[in-house]
Structure 1
Amino acid sequence: MVTPSLHLVKLSVGTETVDGLQDWQKIKRSEAPDGCSRHVTRMWPRREAEILAGGSMYWVIKGSIQARQRIVGLEEVIGGDGIRRCAIVLAPELIRTQTALRRPFQGWRYLKVEDAPPDLPKTRKSEEPLPTELAAALAEIGVI
């Protein structure tokens, strides 16, 4: 039986653009022995098998999903306080997606494959996302 995949969605706190997220992660990747980014979180995903079966981390930047990264693993990390945490290991490549509005939330959330925004076509990779207010208005009338 094939395990269906499942994604995660997470706010990129303090990031203004996809390029800003990429620059920050580049610094963190240089410190990692395998060259992968890691996002450390308090909670371990219960649906680990589905996430590791092809899932991605979808990043919310300024109120909308704008990019994703393939999840390549989950690692246990014990903090200085002795508490077990989960490091979500991410492939280095950030893939821009069509924008999808998201309200603020804490932590991460599961994202079903059918609810995930599609990747931007290669010809549109360098486009800036729509302003949040315009994207919200277009979403409200069903255009995006």
Structure 2
Amino acid sequence: MDKFTHLIKLSVGSDSVESLGAWYASRAAKGPDGLPRHVTRMWPRREAELLNGGSIFWVIKGLVQCRMRVLRLDRVTGHDGIERCAIVLDPEIVRTATAPKRPFQGWRYLAPSDAPPDLPEHRQDEDALPADLAGRLAEIGVL
């Protein structure tokens, strides 16, 4: 199997997977091609690995709860004239097993072996547990 990597990022301002989805469904979060994108200052140095099957895993309320597949990286120039990286994402949000994650700044690489698994297809539409309960269950290895 070819080598790939993921990113992990705090979803600042999201209260739930649903609120993250609402943001990425909004016009403000979409690029000119209509696909959602996350714009960041830094260009991933491990671009080839990321584009070889990687996703962004989103930390919401201290828990990894979902991921979005990375489709490509685009160069964009902000209103301030500074070039940035737009991480273009698949609009499908895939729920994952919850896993606690301490706060950090920016994004980090996440090895596939350290990434929480996707929830089975039949559980993708389940209502999420309250974040504090999900966090406590994840800490003891139940979720």
Confirm or deny that 1:20 pairs with 2:19: yes
Distance 1:77 1:13 in 2: 21
Root-mean-square deviation (Å): 1.9
Judge conservation of contact 1:67–1:96 (CA < 8 Å) in 2.
Answer: yes
Write out the 4+ residue segments of structure 1 that deviate beyond 4 Å after TM superposition.
none
Distance 2:19 2:138 in 1: 25
Describe the shift of the 1:15–1:136 C-alpha distance in structure 2 as closer, same or farther (beyond 3 A).
closer
Distance 1:99 1:23 in 2: 20
Stretch deviating more after TM superposition (71-80 or 22-31): 22-31
In the comparison of the two structures, how many residue pairs are matched?
143
Describe the shift of the 1:24–1:142 C-alpha distance in structure 2 as closer, same or farther (beyond 3 A).
closer
What SS class does the counterpart of residue 22 from structure 1 fall into? helix
What SS class does the counterpart of residue 114 from structure 1 fall into? helix
Stretch deviating more after TM superposition (126-135 or 61-70): 126-135
Stretch deviating more after TM superposition (100-109 or 31-40): 31-40
Give CA-to-partner distance per residue, 1:41-100, whole Å, 9 cap, x none: 011111001000000011111111111111000111122222221110001111111111
Flag structure 2 segments of 5+ consecutive residues without an equivalent: none
2:70 paired residue number: 71
2:35 paired residue number: 36
